Structure 1
Amino acid sequence: MMTARAARLHAFGEADELRIETIDLPEPAPGEVALRQTAVGFNFIDIYQRKGVYPLPLPTGLGFEAAGVVEQVGPDVRDVRTGDRVAYMNAGVGAYADRRNVPADKLVVLPDGVSDEAAATLLFKGMTAQYLVRKTHKVKPGDLVLVHAAAGGVGQILCRWAKDLGAEVAGTAGGPEKLAVARDAGCDFVIDYRQGNWVEAFHEATAGRKARVVYDSVGKDTFLGSLDCTAPFGLVVSYGAASGPAPDISPELLNKKGCLYLTRPSVFPHNADVATFRANAAELFDAIARGAVTVPIGARFTLDQIADAHRAAESRATTGAILIVP
């Protein structure tokens, strides 16, 4: 029997609760493959789960996405082979590991033009951006789009992909360095939400125009302001809560703000079956190949440094993607 090194959580709390343990890895069951993981992605939802904001049964692993090489194929697996480079983003928590057994129907085979590191840092974030700009609101040429946290991993992808689709993009970020990152990601207008009234700054930057769609992953600190930045009959997409949950509102407020639409989508229902997941991934890989979707790796950590990775993300000390290298 093989073994794996994996990060495990036995109690909710601070980053130091994460422990690296050696665990037994059984032979892959029917429908599974044994995967040697070469790159593991980090996402802010990992922090929510570690803290118990989104509680998991304990003890538990963490992490949703990784890339690697198939080392062994279990019975009844026909669509991936030993030696294939693959990636996943929804095989259950536990991606923080150097080896793992994964259901084959959760895997997508990587094309030659997509590296393991790109897949691990782009798949979850890129598939999030994919449903936001292609499903939740189909971004069209001429749309004015507002992206909060435009210097973050998803934010940069959203900005680049929306620009590729012909939109004008306004992005919010905190501080000069992150504003520069947002500009590099294609933002036509950048707003520092740490400086004064960012809603007024948005209206000044756009000469009074409001956004056809606002993508809000920040939550508590930006949600009500997002309503004031949305054009009549426009859409506010609340898809995260980096500053805390968005406040409860009366539906009547949407009417008063301009007959707005509000939605709270998530990535997993948009990729609930294998055929849809692989079709969406193919669209993402095409965008990567065209150069429309890129995100720089802002920091690399080993598996033994996983607590440091969490602390860096919580302090917002990094821009771009965080990569875990087993």
Structure 2
Amino acid sequence: MMQTARTVIFEQVGGPDVLEIQERPVGEPGPGEVRIAHRACGLNFIDVYQRSGLYPMDLPHALGMEAAGVIEAVGDGVTHLREGDRAVYAATPPGAYCDMRVMPAAQVCPLPDDISFEEGAAMMLQGMTVEYLFHRTTPLQPGDSVLFHAAAGGVGLIACQWARSEGITLIGTAGTDEKCALAVKNGATHCVNYRTEDWPKRVREVTQGRGVDVVMDSVGKDTFDGSLASLKPLGMMISFGNASGPVPPFNLGVLGQMGSLKLTRPSLFTHIADHETCQSMARHLFDKVQAKDVEIHIGQRFALEHVVEAHRALEARETTGSTILTI
């Protein structure tokens, strides 16, 4: 008899209430696929973008981009995983919010024994994002300066620690004094409360008027202009998210007027599309965690059946660190 799994799906775009749990069949893996039984699943803002319709998808569709668990079956041609292996992933297609699934194996990675399933589910998408921001987007050297928005979120806390381990000065922004303190505790050199301070002015003060080498901005519309204003001449603006909405159409000529600035809009899934690159990025992340350079902060845990509540908290920016669904 074919197995079934609880799977979170949405049949129309909208708020958290459009999410529902259905029992769906789970078959055998085909060539290049694995079947994985999840122990925990990660929540990320890309899930909100997909559910809300900002990133359009064919509906109905399952949701979720990362999880950790145990490999139950392996299809033909898969050589880097075996039945019984602990495994983890951030990957397409969406569908990680479930008990079990069949999926392509190329972006599924062996999970070291000393990293828990919950840590694995909480860190792959966010941690590999930090890996490409710091190592694959623009050259960064010890002593360079970075402005990082949402520094107390899941990606932000990893970035704070990563910057400290690389000798990079990270100036963070966050929405409360408590979140700023958390960012500083995790390695931010400074953190600015964007609700109570003129943060572009404060960044200039902290850098003695020079501005930063790089801005890493996942907020989007609300921070874009201030982020550009925080860069030094020839600086790099990395826009990698839209938490406040997409950046409006922009006149590229402004980049020249502000000091020959550079602007890029990368995506994790472009970087990990290649199997070997994905596995290398994951190993780099695992090395940072195993060396204690990076600790994964799980601020919130929700049972799978409470996914609507989890999405409400995530979208309201009531979370710190990473958020996971437990199976």
State whether residues 7 and 99 of structure 2, in contact with CA within 8 Å, keep that contact through their aligned partners in structure 1: yes
Structure 1 residue 78: deviation in Å? Answer: 2.8
Structure 1 residue 195: deviation in Å? Answer: 1.3
1:165-223 Cα distance to aligned partner (Å, 9 max, x none): 11111000111111111111211111111114221122223332310001011111111
Give the equivalent residue in structure 1 for 2:323. 322
Which letter maps to 2:131? Q
Structure 1 residue 273: deviation in Å? Answer: 1.2
Task: State the SS of the aligned residue for 2:25.
Answer: strand
Give the equivalent residue in structure 2 for 1:213. 214
Structure 1 residue 162: deviation in Å? Answer: 1.5
- The 5 A counterparts of 1:50-199 are 50-199=51-200
Distance in 2 (alpha carbons) for counterparts of 1:152 and 1:164: 18
Structure 1 residue 279: deviation in Å? Answer: 1.0
Distance in 1 (alpha carbons) for counterparts of 2:31 and 2:169: 48
State whether residues 107 and 279 of structure 2, in contact with CA within 8 Å, keep that contact through their aligned partners in structure 1: no
Task: State the SS of the aligned residue for 2:61.
Answer: coil
Task: State the SS of the aligned residue for 2:106.
Answer: helix
1:66-87 Cα distance to aligned partner (Å, 9 max, x none): 1100112233433211110001
Larger deviation, residues 25-34 vs 43-52: 25-34
Give the equivalent residue in structure 1 for 2:243. 242
Structure 1 residue 313: deviation in Å? Answer: 0.5
1:133-191 Cα distance to aligned partner (Å, 9 max, x none): 00112321110111111011111111211121111110001111111111112111111
Which contiguous aligned blocks of 4+ residues in structure 1 show a shift greater than 3 angstroms? none
Q: How many residues align?
A: 326
Give the equivalent residue in structure 2 for 1:28. 29
Distance in 1 (alpha carbons) for counterparts of 2:273 and 2:88: 16
The alignment-based identity, stated in percent, is 46
State whether residues 139 and 165 of structure 1, in contact with CA within 8 Å, keep that contact through their aligned partners in structure 2: no
Give the equivalent residue in structure 2 for 1:302. 303
Task: State the SS of the aligned residue for 2:147.
Answer: strand
Distance in 1 (alpha carbons) for counterparts of 2:249 and 2:172: 24
Distance in 2 (alpha carbons) for counterparts of 1:224 and 1:83: 49
Distance in 1 (alpha carbons) for counterparts of 2:277 and 2:303: 32
Give the equivalent residue in structure 2 for 1:266. 267
**Cα RMSD between the aligned structures?**
1.2
State whether residues 189 and 206 of structure 1, in contact with CA within 8 Å, keep that contact through their aligned partners in structure 2: no
Task: State the SS of the aligned residue for 1:105.
Answer: coil
Which letter maps to 2:276? A
Distance in 1 (alpha carbons) for counterparts of 2:80 and 2:166: 32
State whether residues 72 and 83 of structure 2, in contact with CA within 8 Å, keep that contact through their aligned partners in structure 1: yes
Distance in 1 (alpha carbons) for counterparts of 2:126 and 2:209: 31
1:248-269 Cα distance to aligned partner (Å, 9 max, x none): 2211111111110010001011
Distance in 2 (alpha carbons) for counterparts of 1:196 and 1:165: 28
Larger deviation, residues 119-128 vs 284-293: 284-293
Distance in 1 (alpha carbons) for counterparts of 2:293 and 2:53: 35
Distance in 2 (alpha carbons) for counterparts of 1:35 and 1:192: 41
Larger deviation, residues 203-212 vs 275-284: 203-212
Give the equivalent residue in structure 1 for 2:231. 230
Distance in 1 (alpha carbons) for counterparts of 2:296 and 2:193: 21
Task: State the SS of the aligned residue for 1:309.
Answer: helix
Which letter maps to 1:285? F
Distance in 1 (alpha carbons) for counterparts of 2:262 and 2:30: 45
Distance 1:322 1:257, change over 3 A: same
